[in-house]
Amino acid sequence: MGATELAVQALTLAFALIIFLYLRSVPRQALSRLRRLRPSSAEPPRHFVRGAQLLARARVHSSPSTSLALARSATAEADLAIAADPRDAAPLILKALALDLDGHRLPALRALDAALSLHTSKSLSEQDRADALLKRAEIQLALVGGRGGRHKRRVDLAICDLEDVLRLWPDNGKAKVFLGECYEKKGLKEEAKGAFLEALKVDESLVSAQEGLKRVLNA
């Protein structure tokens, strides 16, 4: 593999992470660190960059119909980027984010499954992998709507992903909140309480953790 190809892949992944982490509301210093890692000489893959730009616009647009149209265009650009390099996880993550914004959670889940698959996840750093696992757990939880076996399995899969996230990123408050919500859905009140308290130790301003703890204590 030539130096140019390596540089392009690195740039692609850096752009994916910048967009992904921005949309997940991570601290500014994380974005600054990623920007410093960007190669200065390789031309970014245009379909991926175009898709990332469209997705960023979709997230902030005030018109719901325009936002959905932009998200769908981002999905189309992501598909073109995936076709150009099926081994790169970054366009798959971009596609998952766009599909999720468009309300297509099952296809978004499949895109994340592909990004996290054995042959594709090799392009991910530990931080990337943690972010993708967290998003997959979030979607699994969003798809839980009842008490059947399928829904129980989604909760269990989300717990597995969140445990992996916390092994890679022990101080991830949002992962701890989601873990608490999983325990709530399983009726494990003490475990849920512990997870919400751990999340608040990481960030005492986490409203979702505060609300989760209140639910558990009042149940």
Measured distance CA(93)–CA(72) in Å, rounded:
14
Measured distance CA(23)–CA(20) in Å, rounded:
5
Q: How many other C-beta atoms lie within 10 A of the C-beta of residue 101?
A: 20
Of 15-24, 74-83, 147-156, the least confident: 15-24
Q: What is the pLDDT of residue 20?
A: 52
pLDDT band at 215 (very low <50, low <70, confident <90, very high): very high
> What would the mean pLDDT of 69-96 be, rounded to a whole number?
95
> What would the mean pLDDT of 60-75 be, rounded to a whole number?
97
Helical pair 126-142 and 89-101, crossing angle rounded to 10 deg: 30
> What would the mean pLDDT of 116-122 be, rounded to a whole number?
93
Measured distance CA(8)–CA(103) in Å, rounded:
31
Q: What is the pLDDT of residue 167?
A: 97
User: Domains in the chain, start-ordered, CATH in brackets?
Assistant: 1-124 (no CATH), 129-219 (1.25.40.10)
Q: What does the DSSP 8-state code read for residue 206?
A: -
Find the radius of gyration of the CA atoms of the chain.
18
What are 185-197's pLDDT values in tens digits? 999 999 999 999 9
| Residue type at 140 in one-letter notation | Q
> What would the mean pLDDT of 40-64 be, rounded to a whole number?
84
Q: Does residue 126 contact residue 17 with C-beta atoms inside 8 Å? A: no
pLDDT band at 200 (very low <50, low <70, confident <90, very high): very high
Q: What is the pLDDT of residue 25?
A: 43
Q: What is the pTM of this model?
A: 0.79
| Residue type at 103 in one-letter notation | G
Length of the chain as a residue count: 219
Angle, alpha carbons 138-16-165 (nearest 5°) = 40
> What would the mean pLDDT of 190-215 be, rounded to a whole number?
97
Measured distance CA(207)–CA(44) in Å, rounded:
38
Q: pLDDT at residue 13 above 60?
A: no
What are 128-184's pLDDT values in tens digits? 999 999 999 999 999 997 666 688 999 999 999 999 999 999 999 999 999 999 999
Count of CA atoms in the C-beta half-sphere (13 A) of 180? 27
Q: Does residue 82 contact residue 52 with C-beta atoms inside 8 Å? A: no
